[in-house]
């Protein structure tokens, strides 16, 4: 069985988010078709347990689906922010931490994003720069184009800038500490809260040589982009049909289409898939086949 997901559109002060797969409690994805139509993803997880998530993932996450996958359409800068680790968020707030990655689906010419400090900082300099509005002067700028990948671990300062269209894969968490928000109001006209004191405790103040994730593109074969304790993401760009053995995976597979269109097949069903949509293959499926249309098919594959 392949599960199609109803997307959730969220207008934001900086643009919009399209949540295509979410176990986050406040905005949980709903199944769009099939015998389980109308169940949300956490109810589906509770119903099928290891058969859906996989034995290892279910032992870790229980009935809470562990991922949040979305597209970000950026028309104004996001807040300058940082995410806490799982341990810090649980200890201080009783919440999940947040590890995430970005895949640049598209970008206007000369588009940039910001990630990581451009020089080593101290907590004291951080406080001064937040107070006088110069914190963005010490965050590294990165020119971006379609296909670029950035991994954002807890502690890494970051923000997206106008002209970027991003696929984001992350823990099912909204633990975000805003450091700077350009003194602008939210959509409700009220100032959005800042969390500069909490951010001070979790920031990685060291500058690193390279913040990009590098990989060698391939056609008609998966390329692993990111693997961490919370998710593994691979890129699959197809001009011809491709079959994948899932028998040893012990995880669901989320299939996120980022370009083109095609169909996804398994032993129990077939689903069409076009850019901007997502389907799920449960852990019980032992193989999956991707059939691109004549213009090709590019997907991100995510599992635990």
Look at the chain and report how many structural domains it folds into: 2
Mean pLDDT for the chain overall: 96
Predicted confidence (pLDDT) per residue in 198-211, tens digit: 999 999 999 999 99
Domain of residue 206, residue span:
3-213
Q: Are 36 and 162 contained in the same domain?
A: yes
Our CA dihedral for 2, 63, 276, 104, rounded to 10 degrees, sits at -130
> Are 140 and 115 contacting, i.e. CB atoms less than 8 angstroms apart?
yes
Query: Do 182 and 270 belong to one domain?
Result: no
% of the chain at pLDDT higher than 90: 93
Q: Quick one: pLDDT at residue 26? A: 87
Are both 73 and 11 inside the same structural domain? yes
What CATH number did the domain enclosing 39 receive? 2.60.120.10
Same domain, 100 and 246: no
Same domain, 175 and 37: yes
The residues, ordered by sequence, that sit 6+ positions from 24 with a Cβ below 8 Å of its Cβ are 68, 172, 173, 174
Beta bridge partners of 74: 15
Residues 145, 124 share a domain: yes
Say what the pTM is: 0.96
124 and 235 inside one domain: no
Are 140 and 11 found together in one domain?
A: yes
Final residue of a structural domain among 184, 213, 242: 213
Please indicate, yes or no, whether residues 12 and 71 belong to a single structural domain of this protein.
yes
C-alpha Rg value of the chain to the nearest Å? 19
Domain final residue pick, 193, 213, 233: 213
* pLDDT digit string, tens, across residues 37-96: 999 999 999 999 999 999 999 999 999 999 999 999 999 999 999 999 999 999 999 999
Report whether pLDDT(231) > 90: yes
């Amino acid at each position: 069985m392949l599960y199609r997901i109803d997307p959730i559109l969220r207008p934001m002060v900086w643009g919009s988010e399209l949540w295509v797969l979410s176990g986050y409690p406040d905005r949980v994805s709903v199944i769009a078709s099939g015998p389980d139509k109308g169940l949300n993803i956490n109810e589906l997880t509770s119903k099928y347990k290891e058969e859906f998530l996989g034995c290892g993932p279910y032992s870790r996450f229980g009935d809470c689906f562990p991922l949040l996958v979305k597209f970000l359409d950026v028309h104004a800068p996001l807040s300058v922010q940082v995410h806490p680790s799982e341990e810090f968020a649980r200890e201080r707030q009783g919440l999940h931490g947040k590890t995430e990655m970005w895949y640049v689906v598209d970008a206007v010419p000369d588009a940039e994003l910001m990630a990581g400090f451009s020089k080593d900082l101290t907590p004291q300099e951080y406080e001064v720069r937040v107070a006088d509005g110069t914190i963005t002067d010490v965050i590294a700028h990165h020119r971006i184009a379609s296909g670029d990948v950035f991994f954002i671990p807890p502690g890494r300062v970051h923000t997206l800038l106008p002209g970027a269209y991003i696929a984001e894969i992350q823990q099912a968490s909204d633990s975000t500490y805003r450091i700077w928000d350009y003194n602008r109001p939210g959509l409700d006209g009220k100032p959005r809260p800042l969390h500069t004191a909490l951010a001070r405790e979790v920031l990685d103040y060291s500058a690193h040589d390279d913040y990009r994730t590098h990989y060698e593109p391939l056609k008609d074969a998966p390329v692993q982009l990111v693997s961490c304790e919370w998710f593994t993401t691979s890129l699959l760009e197809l001009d011809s049909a491709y079959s994948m053995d899932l028998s040893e995976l012990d995880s669901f597979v989320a299939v996120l289409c980022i370009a083109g269109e095609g169909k996804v097949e398994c032993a129990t069903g077939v689903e069409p898939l076009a850019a901007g949509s997502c389907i799920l293959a449960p852990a019980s499926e032992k193989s999956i086949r991707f059939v691109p249309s004549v213009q090709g098919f590019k997907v991100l594959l995510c599992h635990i």
